[in-house]
């Protein structure tokens, strides 16, 4: 394992019917680097981020943060350090400050005095204090998106997994959010190629997957394991063109 902040090795997801959604995704991310993840709708971008956050099981591959695997941190700690932020906040009861206070309790195992103030962050993004005490259901899509993102950012995750974080924002707010997020290490889904060029230090492009090949059948027993294999034998360093069997990822 190298000296990168975050690495993923051959992350693969096979769907029912043996179709590969993506296969052998290799990622290396340095501090304050932004890897932009692009691709047509349905190519698996959100699913990939959820795999990296260990929110869902995947077929094979593994990730490391500072050279350690998720099981070495414990999955809840991993999720707080490699944090997935959905495009649309899940329906929460109460107001954004309530959510912040709940998450703060969950995060008690982490360094407590490192937690920021979501209101201060939100104010940099054209929000006011009152947005954080308003019911979620009364906020606009863009206000909800910024409140949820501000709460996530306060916990200072090592890696932010951002699912179209500015999709509901006006250009001025989007630019302010972009500027703040550049201080973090991120894997960032966007459909906006201009934004990709503005924020990205590297890019991955997912394309639509293909049906299984005979070679996949040969490896069927291995490939159907819906688990998180930890074997170092599966490790492979990033290559500029990281795909196997014609499968779909270009890394630039």
Ligand X SMILES: Nc1ncnc2c1ncn2[C@@H]1O[C@H](COP(=O)(O)OP(=O)(O)OP(=O)(O)O)[C@@H](O)[C@H]1O
Beta carbon nearer to ligand X, 46 or 64: 46
Beta carbon nearer to ligand X, 47 or 60: 47
- In whole angstroms, give the CA distance from residue 96 to residue 83: 18
Reduce the DSSP state of residue 91 to 3 states and report it.
coil
Tell me, residue by residue from 196 to 235, as one string, x for binding to ligand X by CB under 6 A and - for no binding.
----------------------------------------
Q: Which two tokens stand for residue 175?
A: 């630019």
Stretch that binds ligand X, among 38-46, 176-184, 218-226, 234-242 (CB under 6 A): 38-46
41 binds ligand X (CB under 6 A): yes
Beta carbon nearer to ligand X, 42 or 232: 42
Taking a C-beta distance cutoff of 8 angstroms, is the pair 90, 99 a contact?
A: no
- In whole angstroms, give the CA distance from residue 166 to residue 145: 8
Of the candidate residues 33, 39, 100, 199, the single one contacting ligand X (CB under 6 A): 39
Of the candidate residues 1, 15, 215, 226, the single one contacting ligand X (CB under 6 A): 15
List alpha helices for the chain, DSSP H. Answer: 45-52, 70-73, 75-81, 96-106, 118-123, 141-154, 171-181, 193-199, 214-218, 220-223
Beta carbon nearer to ligand X, 26 or 43: 43
From residue 82, give the alpha-carbon distance in Å to each of 46, 131, 155, 233, 237.
14, 26, 11, 24, 20
DSSP 180-230: HHTTS-EEEE-S-HHHHHHH-SEEEEE----PPPHHHHHTHHHHT--S---
Of the candidate residues 44, 70, 96, 157, the single one contacting ligand X (CB under 6 A): 44
190 binds ligand X (CB under 6 A): no
60 binds ligand X (CB under 6 A): no
86 binds ligand X (CB under 6 A): no
Taking a C-beta distance cutoff of 8 angstroms, is the pair 75, 39 a contact?
A: no
118 binds ligand X (CB under 6 A): no
Of the candidate residues 43, 60, 80, 173, the single one contacting ligand X (CB under 6 A): 43
93 binds ligand X (CB under 6 A): no
Of the candidate residues 3, 16, 214, 240, the single one contacting ligand X (CB under 6 A): 16
Beta carbon nearer to ligand X, 21 or 153: 21
Taking a C-beta distance cutoff of 8 angstroms, is the pair 248, 207 a contact?
A: yes
- In whole angstroms, give the CA distance from residue 58 to residue 41: 20
Residues that bind ligand X (CB under 6 A): 15-16, 21, 39, 41-47
């Amino acid at each position: 394992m190298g000296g990168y902040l975050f690495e993923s090795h051959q992350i693969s997801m096979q769907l029912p019917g043996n179709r590969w959604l993506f296969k052998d995704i290799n990622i290396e991310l340095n501090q304050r680097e932004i890897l932009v993840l692009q691709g047509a709708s349905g190519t698996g971008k959100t699913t990939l981020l959820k795999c990296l956050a260990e929110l869902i099981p995947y077929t094979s591959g593994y990730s490391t943060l500072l050279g350690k695997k998720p099981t070495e941190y414990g999955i809840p700690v991993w999720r707080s350090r490699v944090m997935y932020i959905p495009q649309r906040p899940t329906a929460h009861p109460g107001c954004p400050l309530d959510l912040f206070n709940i998450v703060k309790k969950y995060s008690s195992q982490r360094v407590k005095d490192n937690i920021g103030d979501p209101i201060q962050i939100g104010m940099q993004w054209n929000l006011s204090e009152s947005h954080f005490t308003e019911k979620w259901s009364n906020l606009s899509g863009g206000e909800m998106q910024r409140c949820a993102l501000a709460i996530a950012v306060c916990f200072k995750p090592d890696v932010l997994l951002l699912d179209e974080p500015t999709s509901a924002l006006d250009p001025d707010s989007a630019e302010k959010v972009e500027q703040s997020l550049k201080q973090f290490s991120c894997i960032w889904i966007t459909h906006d190629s201009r934004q990709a060029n503005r924020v990205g230090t590297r890019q991955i492009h997912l394309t639509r997957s293909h049906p299984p090949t005979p070679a996949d059948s040969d490896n069927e027993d291995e490939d159907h394991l819906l688990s998180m294999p930890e074997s170092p034998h599966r490790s492979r360093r990033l290559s500029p063109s990281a795909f196997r069997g014609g499968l779909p990822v270009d890394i630039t």
